[in-house]
């Protein structure tokens, strides 16, 4: 028997932060199309966050070998891919398609309804999540303030199995520090972060510090303190695993980055440093996020004491 339930496909490329900022729009679809089966076509490792959050039923990779022909004029589309795409009642695409090649190909193979959404966000014209959800107003779906901030994407974390504090219910003061971002211009000097970590340990010796790093930090030659009883290193973790581990943290410190968006989406209080990017557009929308703006939009000029005093004040109030 053929299912009559609505089937929705969201096609979303982009980096980690872009994807997470699209999740409120996906949530709108999920909650307002009764009984829908929702899938995400995106990049491996990133799109899985939608399944973890309970917003998608399945995912499929944009990097599959059959996908490129969707962007070629009058191309012969793989029959299996055509059948897959035509199985959806509605396709929402965030892919860059300036010449409407993708749209024409989708319509040519028989897709009935396609809604095109912005693949990029325009600074200064509203928060990124609002811009990404705006085209859904064609379906009478509205991302309204402030409710969406309070009911945003929440990763359901299971905690770290090797953490005695999580197993016994005892409070563990774990502070995560993400040393990088996608751009050197958006990074506070590493030596400031390491100095701050030392002061945190002096002020709260019971604290466990976590340094989050990845390939970008490898390329910059960033070195973190050696792991020990009070220092952990989470390096190049899969996002799903990182989300689980972030759920065990008390505080997250970082920049304008996709990992900061993931931390905020996990419900962790965050102190984030913003320099050249517009925080009103790009900062995580969760109310537990505190933004520190760099003078002149240059993080090199953000005083160490400004960040230190903000973080230590937060820790004193715990």
Domains parsed from the chain with CATH numbers: 7-150 (3.40.50.2000), 171-316 (3.40.50.2000)
What pLDDT does residue 1 have?
42
What pLDDT does residue 318 have?
81
In angstroms, how far is CA 212 from the centroid of its own chain? 15
Cβ-contact 180, 217 below 8 angstroms: yes
Cβ-contact 58, 39 below 8 angstroms: yes
Q: In whole angstroms, give the CA distance from residue 120 to residue 96.
A: 8
Measured CA distances, 190 to 15, 164, 173 (Å): 23, 30, 22
137 burial via Cβ count (<10 Å: 0-12, 13-18, 19+): exposed
Cβ-contact 208, 233 below 8 angstroms: no
CB atoms closer than 10 angstroms to residue 95: 18
Q: In whole angstroms, give the CA distance from residue 49 to residue 128.
A: 18
What pLDDT does residue 164 have?
39
Q: In whole angstroms, give the CA distance from residue 157 to residue 176.
A: 15
DSSP labels, 68-84: GGGGSTT----HHHHHH
Per-residue pLDDT of the chain (318 residues; tens, 9 = 90+): 445 789 999 999 999 999 999 999 999 999 999 999 999 999 999 999 999 999 999 999 999 999 999 999 999 999 999 999 999 999 999 999 999 999 999 999 999 999 999 989 999 899 999 999 999 999 999 998 644 444 444 544 434 434 434 443 578 999 999 999 989 999 999 999 999 999 999 999 999 999 999 988 988 888 898 899 999 999 999 999 999 999 999 999 999 999 999 999 998 999 999 999 999 999 999 999 999 999 999 999 999 999 999 999 999 988
Three-class SS state of 178: strand
State both tokens at 260. Answer: 């900061």
DSSP bridge pairs for 195: none
């Amino acid at each position: 028997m053929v299912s009559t339930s609505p089937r929705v496909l969201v096609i979303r490329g982009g980096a980690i932060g872009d994807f997470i900022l699209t999740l409120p729009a996906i949530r709108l679809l999920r909650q307002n199309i009764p009984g829908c089966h929702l899938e995400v076509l995106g990049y491996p490792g990133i799109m899985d966050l939608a399944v973890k959050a309970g917003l998608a039923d399945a995912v499929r990779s944009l990097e599959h070998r059959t996908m490129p022909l969707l962007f070629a004029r009058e191309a012969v589309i793989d029959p299996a891919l055509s059948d897959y795409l035509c199985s959806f009642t509605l396709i929402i695409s965030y892919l860059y398609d300036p010449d409407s090649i993708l749209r024409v190909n989708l319509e040519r193979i028989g897709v009935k309804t396609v809604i095109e959404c912005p693949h990029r966000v325009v600074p200064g014209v509203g928060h990124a999540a609002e811009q990404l959800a705006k085209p859904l107003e064609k379906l009478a779906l509205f991302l309204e303030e402030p409710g969406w901030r309070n009911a945003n994407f929440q990763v359901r974390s299971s905690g770290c199995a090797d953490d005695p504090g999580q197993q016994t219910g005892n409070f563990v003061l774990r502070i995560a520090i993400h040393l990088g971002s996608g751009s050197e211009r958006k990074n506070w000097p590493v030596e400031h972060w390491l100095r701050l970590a030392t002061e945190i340990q002096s002020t709260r010796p019971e604290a466990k510090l976590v340094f989050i790093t990845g390939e970008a930090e490898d390329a910059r030659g960033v070195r973190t303190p050696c792991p020990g009883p009070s220092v952990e290193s989470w390096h190049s973790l899969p996002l799903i695993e990182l989300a689980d581990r972030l759920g065990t943290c008390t505080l997250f410190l970082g920049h304008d980055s996709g990992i900061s968006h993931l931390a905020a989406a996990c419900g962790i209080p965050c102190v984030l440093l913003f320099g050249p990017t517009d925080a009103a557009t790009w900062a995580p929308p969760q109310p537990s996020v505190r933004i520190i703006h760099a003078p002149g939009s240059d993080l090199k000029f953000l005083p160490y004491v400004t960040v230190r005093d903000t973080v230590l004040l937060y820790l004193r109030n715990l």
